[in-house]
Chain A
């Protein structure tokens, strides 16, 4: 795809064909290379579903029937995160479209390219509060990169092409196309050789090489440099270049939640994740560095903690594609705006080979104080979640078919996954970072598994989040026994909320205890083999059995109930003011850091 602003590469002229609007939708998708669409039919989208059948019969497109539209968006999201291609979801008007919104917001917050197609009531009924009418363009606008209401069939081909173009180019995002039912039924002229002209859309800003030079000077002078790398590195596929850069100048790397695996976490320069539940030494490194090189990240409050106390000793260099993110939370000393695929290769030859032994030695000392190794390998007599996650890593990291993909839900287990699973490859962890959507794991894992049928895909969810979308287990079966493995970290609580209640609300556990069904029996009802695990020595064998069993498998890990995620930066506190991990890992009284509210 071309990287000229506001213009796509010009296609060869084609002869227009007459077809119905409904067919145009699928014809455009085939042209865009879409293979799978996730959706749920309904009245206003029926013409489109009718036109889909020849495309399914010819094997050009495959439709996956979801059990709730939110999960259609999550599946498209999981597909898109795993492949980097645009994911597609389809829903009907009214409730179908409003159900999509959570999933679309999730994808948009994490810059995932998704195109959503929704049916709308016929043009003449628009605005009459017709059956299953909702103002979908209005409802979805705040959570979309762009959206369209189509009321004229002749505009449909251009709009569809623009939708995919906008979703994919620049910082990826969500585009929704709301198509009136009469437009789907109307016949129009289809062609797809448009030259897209959007003067208001500047996906690839021009790189100012002077800024790259200034950045190089700062980096070359630094005594205690640090890279803070985020999702942008993965989106630009610049992991190798980043690794080459940090190895050349010996710069340690802290990642954001979505940046995990940007450089291999077993690499000596990797400090793992920073922020609210980042390791203490990673946050200490951020606070002590003299040059902070932020690469493809947006200084989210979960990574910065209290902004006015963040990286006070550092000159900040911000490599970022989206201009609006530069200066939004942190004003950088050197902004480098542009595609990382242009700026990082331009930066690399300007960087001198350097060694920063005193700095790395210092980091090593800090690491020694708070090392997680005691928890990685120590003997446990109770089933605690970090142990489960570590065993999951032991069991899966050498899986045939490529590095395993772990899809997490949101909460304590998500943070434990980040801490105790060693991500050595980009894109190994798919998780809802920005919006923090519970119920994300299972549907997104289904999307990722369909993108990579041969790779090992694990959905790791808490008992709370799993129950938000567990109906999608039916999709696993309907899609011919997709080999998605599910691990439920079942602690009987909405764990992360409970942890906050313990720390900040005097242990008043309001609304956090969770009653759950017997997940093994539940899986049996869906004809999915399952096991319950209650003791540490059962974990390894259960994981092995799950992996050895063809098709799906579910394990209900009935873990110790009140275990906390450490370290923790209280919301609104500076990132080096943290509640440290107790040794050994037993409950620790709240250390006295006050939240900001």
Chain B
């Protein structure tokens, strides 16, 4: 079964390698991993899709929580979620097929973002299977190049509790301010 996990972590060099290293060392299988900024400065948000069973996913979560730079981990597999991924596909075209491809892309509410004489770039944002299904169709015309981001996800509905995902020092560091002076200010030192 596939599980979707979200982890928040310090945005600093080496954190991605710590997470990836732990996953490799513990022999966990990652289907996809996407990382980017979160709403909190200094804190990155990572979306994982892992393949396994309940026990394995529990271990993934516990081992992630043990990493000092990881501030929070959530398993949203059981919740109603919005999960989207983006793909860009360079598909081969000619005078005969161009119109048909445009039609298909429109049905999928994708966009043509670049056109050349012999190819075009199709962009689609959607759930994983919607993207997969368009990619399948486009494959019939010849895919020259493709990139898929892997899904990012959020739970639906109201946010239950407020979360503290970083410290004043980390936020200051992320904003490029001198962390030590911020800390000094906070503790009332000289």
Contacts and interface: CB of A to CB of B under 8 A. Distances in A.
A300 interface: no
B190 A15 contact: yes
Interface string B46-77: 00000000010011001101111111100000
A331 interface: yes
B164 A199 contact: yes
A210 interface: no
B90 interface: no
Contacts of A141: 17-18, 21
Contacts of B55: 327, 331
A198 B10 CA distance: 10
Interface in A451-494: none
B71 A189 contact: no
B157 interface: no
A327 B58 CA distance: 8
B5 to A, nearest CB: 15
A13 B190 CA distance: 8
B68 A166 contact: yes
Given A198-B68, A200-B71, A324 B17 contact: no
Contact of A16 (B25, B164, B190): B190
A191 interface: yes
Interface residues of B, number: 37
B187 interface: yes
B69 A200 contact: yes
Contact of A328 (B9, B59, B70, B178): B59
A324 B62 contact: yes
B45 interface: no
Contacts of A352: none
A561 interface: no
Contact of B65 (A10, A146, A323): A323
Given A149-B14, A166-B68, A200-B10, A13 B188 contact: yes
Contacts of A194: 183, 187
A200 B58 contact: no
Contacts of B169: 158, 197
A146 B180 contact: no
B21 A324 contact: no
A545 to B, nearest CB: 49
A154 B68 contact: no
A193 B190 CA distance: 11
Interface in B118-176: 164-169
A145 B9 CA distance: 16
Contacts of B63: 324
A154 B178 contact: yes
A199 B167 contact: yes
B189 interface: yes
Contacts of A331: 55
Interface string A310-346: 0000000000001110011001000000000000000
A195 interface: yes
A220 to B, nearest CB: 29
B68 A13 contact: no
A142 B21 contact: yes
A76 to B, nearest CB: 21
Given A16-B189, A141-B18, A155 B165 contact: no
Nearest to A15: B190
A531 interface: no
Contacts of A202: 65
Contacts of A505: none
A166 B56 CA distance: 26
Nearest to B183: A194
Contacts of B62: 323-324, 328
A189 B169 CA distance: 16
Contacts of A193: 187, 189
Contacts of B188: 13
List 9 A-B pairs, minimum CB-CB distance, nearest first: A324-B62, A200-B71, A197-B167, A146-B68, A199-B71, A154-B180, A13-B189, A201-B68, A200-B70
Interface of A: 10, 13-16, 137-138, 141-142, 145-146, 149, 154-155, 158, 166, 189, 191, 193-195, 197-202, 322-324, 327-328, 331
Given A194-B187, A197-B168, A199-B165, 11 more contacts: A13-B189, A15-B190, A142-B25, A166-B68, A189-B180, A198-B167, A199-B71, A200-B9, A200-B65, A323-B65, A324-B59
15 contacts: A14-B189, A16-B190, A137-B14, A141-B18, A142-B21, A142-B25, A158-B183, A189-B180, A191-B184, A195-B186, A198-B167, A200-B10, A200-B65, A200-B67, A200-B72
Interface of B: 9-10, 14, 17-18, 21-22, 25, 55, 58-59, 62-63, 65-72, 164-169, 178-180, 183-184, 186-190
